[in-house]
Amino acid sequence: MPINEGTLDRMTMTVGGMHCAGCSSSAQARILKVVGVESATVDFASGRAVVLGRQFDASTVLEAVRSGGFEPAMSGSPTERVDPLAALIELQRTADQAQLARAREWFRRMSIAGAIWIVLEPLHWMTAHLHQNSWGPLMLFFGATVALIFAGGGFYSSAWRAARHGTSNMDTLVALGVTAAYLMSVGVFVAQQFADTMQSTPLYFAEATALLAIISAGHWLEARATRVASLSIRDLLELQPEFAERMNTLGGFESVAIAHICLGDKIQVRPGGLIPVDGRVIEGCSSVDESSLSGEVMPVMRRVGDLVSSGTHSLDGRLVIETGASGGASALGRIAQLVYDARMTQAPIQRYADRICQFFVPAVLLVSLATFVGWWIVGDLATAVVTAVTVLVISCPCALGIATPLAVMVGAGEASRRGILVRNATALQKISQSRTVVFDKTGTITMGKPTLASIEVVDGRSSEDQLIALAAAAESASEHPIAHAILQVASDRRLLIAPCEDFLAEPGVGVSATVDGRYIAVVRDERATARIEVDHVVAARITLVDRVRPESAQAIATLHGMGYKVAMLTGDRYQAAIDVAKEIGLNESEVVADATPESKVSAIERFGGETVLMVGDGINDAGAIARAGVGIAMGSATALTTSSADVVLMRNDPRGIGELIAISRMTFRVVKQNLGLAFVYNALAIPLAALGMLGSNGPMIAAAAMGLSDLCVVGNSLRLRAKLARERARRASGTPST
C-alpha cells in the first residue's frame, strides 16, 4: 500500500535548472539518499518536488538537490500543510509559467540555430566542391560560432553546472557532441587555411548548427505537448471562480474575493454561474450540472434545503446559498488535494525507468569514448569524431523519463473528469493488474437505505410500537443503515424515543444500550435481518429490504465481460444476500454472507489479496479495503474527508468501476508502449551509431531521431487523451462505445 502521508513530515519545494526528465530523476535520486527521507517525487513538468519522511533536515535536502547542479527553493516549512485549493492554484501557476518559459526558450534556440543552419547548409555543400573559395569556410566558422554562443549557451551552462557538482545530464551529451563536431571543424579549418593540409577533410560547422536546431525543435514540440497533456489540472482550477456575490448587512449583494468568504455567509449564484462554495440552498431553485465533480451528465434540480457543491454549474435559476465550506475545505478543494497528490506520486513501473536514467548518461559517455578510440584506430580522426558525436546525440534518456508520468497524468486526469478520483499512481497501476472485484452489498450494490418489510413479535408482553420505540432508542447513536431504517419507522409512527445509556456498538454483530433501565439489544439474526432483545430475551424479529441499484446488474455484466471474477461480500443473512445476487447476475459461489469485519479480511485474502479491488463505503469495510490491492469507496464529495480508500467514486454508480478499470488498462498499455518505444529506440540506435552505420550525416540523423523518440512518447500519451475524451463524449451523448 502507498505510504500514509498523514504520518510523515512533508516538504515542498521548487526545483530550477531542470532541462529534461532525466534531470528530475537525478534530483529525485539525490533527495532519496538524505537520512530520514522515505519518499520523494520530483515533477519535471511543474518543477516541483514533494518530500516525505521522518525527522529529516530540510537544509540537507536542499543541499542534496543543489549538489546535483539544480536550484532548489523551499515552499514553507518541512511540516507544511498547505490549503489544497491554494496548492492546486500554485501548482498550476508554477507549471504553466515553467512550461511556457521552457517552450519559449526552446523556440528561441531553435529559431537562432535554424536560421543560421539554413544559410550555412548550402554554403557547406558549395565549399565542399570549391576548396579554393576561402571565404566559404570562414563564413561557416563564423556562423557556427554565433550559433554555439546564442543557441547553445543553455546547453553549455546546464552541462557545466552538472559537471561542477560531479554529475551529468542530457545536456552533457548534447554539449559534448556539438563541441566535438565544432572543435574538429576548427582544427580542419585552421589546417586548410594556414597549413594547406587536410583539404579533402569535410567541415562539420553546418552539422553542429543543425544539431542545435533539430534538438531544440524536438524539445520545443515536447514542451508544447506536455502543456496539453496537463490540461486536466487547468480545467479543474477554472471551476473555482475568483469572486463571489456575498450578501452585505443591507441585504444586497457585493462582489468579494473567494478567499474572504466565511462559514455562514450567504452567496448569490446567478443563472449560468459557477457555484463558488459548498453549502445549503436557502432561496431559489435551479438545475445544476454536477458533471465536473461526479461525472453524472444529467443536471440535477436543487431546491431550498438541498446541498450544493463548489465547482458545479447552476444552469437556469437563481440560488442563494448559505456557505458550509469554501476554499480547501470545499468539495472542489478536497478534489484538488487528490489531483495534487496523484500528480506528485509515481507508479512502481516508473521507478525502474528512473534507475536506468541515473546510469544512462555516464554509460553513453563511456560508449562514445570507446567508439571514438575504436574508429580512430581503424579509420581516421574525422570518422572517429563524427561517429562518437553520433553516439552522444542519438542517446536519449528523456523518452524513458517521460514515458510513465505523461500517460499517468492523462489517465488520472480523465478519471477525475468522470467523477473518479485516484489518490496515487500506484493505485492506478494496481487496478490495471487486478483480476477480481469484490463488492460490499449494502450501499454499494443496493441503495443503502433499507426499509421495514415486516416485524414478528415473539414476546407478547410488549406491543409492536413499544418494541420499535425501544429499538430506535438503542440505535439512536448508531450510523448503521439498519439504525436509520428503524429510526425512520419510529419517526413515521411518531413514537417517543427515550434517551439511552451505556451504548455499545459491536461491528458485525449489532448494538446494545440501556433504555429506561432495561437492557435493549438489536443484533443480527439468522432468521431475519435483526432481532430485538429486551433484558436478554428475544422480543421481536425485524426484516428489512434494501432496493438493488438499477445500475448494479449492468455493472456486474460489464465486469464479467472484461474477464473479471466478481464477488459480493456482506454481513447480511445468507438468504437475503442470495436474493440480491440472483437479481444482479451472481451465482451462489460468488457470495460471502454473514461476514464479520474479520472474516471479510480473510475473504479478501482468499480472493487474491493484492489483485483484488474491494468496493465499499470506505468506513464499515475499512479492514477489507485495507487488505485489498486497491480499496474503492463509493459516495459523494463528503466521502473524501472520511474515506481511506485509494479511489473515490463521486457518484453512487457501480458502473464507474468498469470505467475505472478501462482507463487504468488503457493508461498502462500506453505506459508499456512508451517504455517499449524508448527502450527499443536506444537499444537499436546506440549500436547503429557506434558501428558507423549512419554515415557522415550521422549527427544530423541522430538529432532528428532523438527528437522523434521524445515526440513518439508524447504523441502516444496525447493519443490516449484523445481516445479517452472521445469515449467520454460518446457516453455523454448516449452513443454506444465501439
Among candidate residues 470, 468, 448, the one with its CA nearest the CA of residue 456: 468
Block residue for cell numbers 436478554: 536
Q: What residue has cell string 455484466?
A: 557
Task: Quickly count: other Cβ atoms within 10 Å of residue 681's Cβ.
Answer: 22
Residue 407's closest CA among 91, 706, 718?
A: 718
DSSP 571: S
**Length of the chain in terms of residues written:** 738
What is the three-class DSSP state of 253? strand
Q: Rounding to the nearest 10 degrees, give the CA dihedral for residues 366, 369, 371, 372.
A: 180
Residue 683 phi, psi dihedral angles, 5° rounding = -65, -35
Rounded CA separation 52/225 (Å)? 30
Please answer whether residues 320 and 282 qualify as being in contact, where contact means their C-beta atoms are separated by less than 8 angstroms. Answer: yes
Q: Which of 536, 531, 535 is nearest to 455 (CA)?
A: 531
Q: 342 near 412, Cβ under 8 Å?
A: yes
Distance of CA 235 to the CA centre of its chain: 14
CA 514, 519, 523 angle in degrees (round to 5)? 105
Looking at 440, 525, 617, 653, which residue is catalytic?
Answer: 440
Contact 516, 465 (CB under 8 A): no
For cell 533539430, what's the residue? 214
SS3 422: strand
Output the CA angle 239-241-247, nearest 5 degrees: 135
For 647, the enclosing helix (H) or strand (E) is: strand 647-649
Give the strand pairing for 266-269 and 319-325. antiparallel
Q: Could you tell me the three cell numbers for 610?
A: 493484492
Say which residues have a Cβ less than 8 Å from residue 690's Cβ, sequence separation at least 6: 367, 370, 371, 387, 391
C-alpha grid cell, residue 11: 516538504
Residue 440 a catalytic site member: yes
What is the rounded distance in angstroms from the CA atom of residue 304 to the CA atom of residue 282? Answer: 5
Give 55's DSSP letter: S
- Reference 245, options 208, 271, 219, 224; nearest CA is 271
Give catalytic residue positions: 440
